[in-house]
Structure 1
Amino acid sequence: MIEVKKISAEDAEKIKNLDEGHFLDLKRKEISPAKLTETISAFANTSAGEIYIGIEESDVLNIKNRVWSGFNDVEEANGLLQVIESMSPLGNHYRVVFYKADNQNGVVLHLTIQKTNEILYASNRKAYIRRGAQKLPIESEIALKRLQYDKGITTFEDELIKVPTEFITNSVVTLGFMIDVVPMSEPDSWLKNQLVIIDGKISVAGVLLFAEEPQAILPKRSAIKLYRYHTGDDEGERDTLAFDPVTIEGHIYKLIEDAKNKVKEIVEGIKKLGPNGLENIKYPEEALQEIITNAVIHRDYSILKDIHIRIFDNRIEIESPGRLPGHITLNNILDDQSARNPKIIRLINKFPNPPNKDVGEGLKTAFEAMNKLRLKKPEIGENENSVIVTLRHESLASSEQMVMKYLETHDEITNAIARELTGIKSENSMKDVFYRLRDRNQIKPVEGKSGRSSAWERK
């Protein structure tokens, strides 16, 4: 049964004033079923989204005006609902709710579209993707192949490379692995049984796992680039680079370990202002291990781009090429799984002390590790061709708590010191923290200091 929900006039106004974008679209009730399927296809093929149908928009002298102009009743929307129901493989990957409100005309249809595992086509037999507030048709075979990789329908790890099989059958990596893991088998026959050698050719997965130097065979898509910026700004500039970018290479089991150790080495040399003065920054090793592992084993190897790790004064950014695979979105990434490279994930788990011990639990482990150190949880973002995970060295303590903790061991605190301590960027926002503490009778201005030299002390 379709839900009809009564909402307040205030909530109706909020719906009318929503900003259209990558995850949201507003449509007139007169939209044709065919056009609606294009928008649904775009959301289902990209990152999920919401559609409100029954909101009219006019533009007079560059001033947008929106009006709630819904369906007379639920039955009037049956034509749209029937077309949606017929879309395959949408299945149960959508939710329908009608909203009505006092003093508003009709009921507005709210569709929540989930990301699908398979490619969803519109009624014109074209597939669409969402980019910002636009829906874009997939017009070429190359673009369709890219969407298949993004969805995990096909995987680049199974592509075959024309290099001699000896690159992996007789490598130091394979010989060591065979001795430790499957001593009763011969490398050639075992690798064939694992389908990393097929018809005398090595798969991408085989190269990445067992070649001594995968970067010689798969350049620009199998290494890790590491940067250290002397800044906490949003972007790192060339003049803030501490040293030339470091390139980390090797088979992916070694790549993960070497990258984690190098990041740890650099991070432990950074000092940040804390309640007791300058303190060494420390991130939980489990968080670094899990996020770097995820970046390596879940990346899209069809994209000609290395993994990038950027170390700033106040955070680490780990950028992995490729969008989230399958039905995974930013909302369900901690609860659901979709393996873009199942062969790599399975085989690296056979190595001694594998980096992905708890398969499917990596990001949860990272979140838990950050929480144990009372640091803010990792931030996960997705752009057009990559996923970026950010670890911030910011305490879970409130800004007020951090100021008072600092004043336990210092006579006074300035706005600049407090901003560095708390991660707050705005001077005015920091003043608001001071004012709240003042109003609670906990701190007071230091007499004789004003302007840029003004400071606060415990009361």
Structure 2
Amino acid sequence: MEVSSMNENESIEFKENYTEKIYKEIIAFLNTNSGTIYIGYDDNGNLIGVDNCKDIEEKISNGIRTNIYPDARIFVSINTGKLEDKEYIIIKVSKGIDIYYLKEKGIVKGTYLRTGSCSIPATEETVKQLIIKNSSLSFETSISSNQELTFDYISKALEENNININENNIKENLHFTANQKYTNIGLLFSDQNPFTFKLAVYQSNEKNNFLDRKEFKGSILEIYDTIIDYLKNNTATYGLINTSVREDIEEYPEFILREIVLNSLIHRDYGTLTSNILNLYKNNGIEVISFGSLYGNITLDDILAGLSTSRNPYLQSIFMRIKRVEAIGSGLRRVKSYYNKIGLNFEIDVLPSAFVVKLPKISLNNVAIQNNSKGDMDIIIKYIEKNGSITRINAQALINKEKTTTSTILNKLVENGVLVKIGNGPSTRYEINK
């Protein structure tokens, strides 16, 4: 469609040049309906052109990040065009899933709406109504700001499961499209997915000896697969000889790596372009930081009990369909149970805007020690789970070991965060560290 044949309306805005007012227009489209802003055109749709398009494009991109709250970059695409030797800028804005406003003015005075060909401030009452309305919006089913998508990587995975993405209604059934337009769930699985996953490698968790850095890009499925491959190739597997039989011991069992990476991808908040982060500490363990805290009313105890609620249910469903998810709700509980059984502490920190998982490194020495006392540890843990606590004297009688050996086992469980020690002297007791 020729721009010159169009007039400003509820979905089209013309600007002769760049000014700070552009963010008001972007916010109005985010809060109302999708729209397009053309910079380099007068109010009648006549091409004037702009100089330094690339500089202005970068300025707008940075301005969206610094001037608009919450992060709206995923819903905005900026491109340049050229006609009659004149350059212009096209800003395509998709409707967001939140209430967007100018940071410096705040939500009450900085929220704008599109009415006809004008962007106007929202009243306080309108803001309240938007809060109620937007609470039911989903990132996954919102229309993607990028409609030029390809699906080469996900197509191969679907073919392995006898699904042809190009067959009738398949994209719609996968929720990649709605009303013949690509959705954000389609964007995530496309080769043009803008979300990345950053990885850093250090010698220790003091971060004073940096070793490597990676940024994983592409389809969210490709990101998942390549992260797992990297971790498998850059962590060790030991050989433990036990009664003449070799046992392979992984620093991080593959099922745990898959669960933790998948959890960070499926449950993160995609309302912002902030990257998830994985820190691999060669001496200590792995830390995964996922943007977005717990979703809904679920608690950490609920999750570890096997309850599940998903911020991105379609994303989770597709990963299950291509057999990357074994079961819903059991993953983190299974990981914690695994580490508890070998006496190591698996940590989860729930922050206001992030979910942090910390995996301890399993060494050959850990396993050798744990193999000798693993049965005794299991007996003690099961006793405490049933009775609430245990004393050293009761533990000694329970596992039929010497005082020193029993104390060593209890101290090891405390050291690894499995148990907590309460009190002093003969009345000292041990409980599960919750």
| TM, length-normalised to structure 1 | 0.46
TM superposition score normalised by structure 2:
0.48
Higher normalized contact order (CA 8 Å, seq sep 6+, divided by chain length): 1
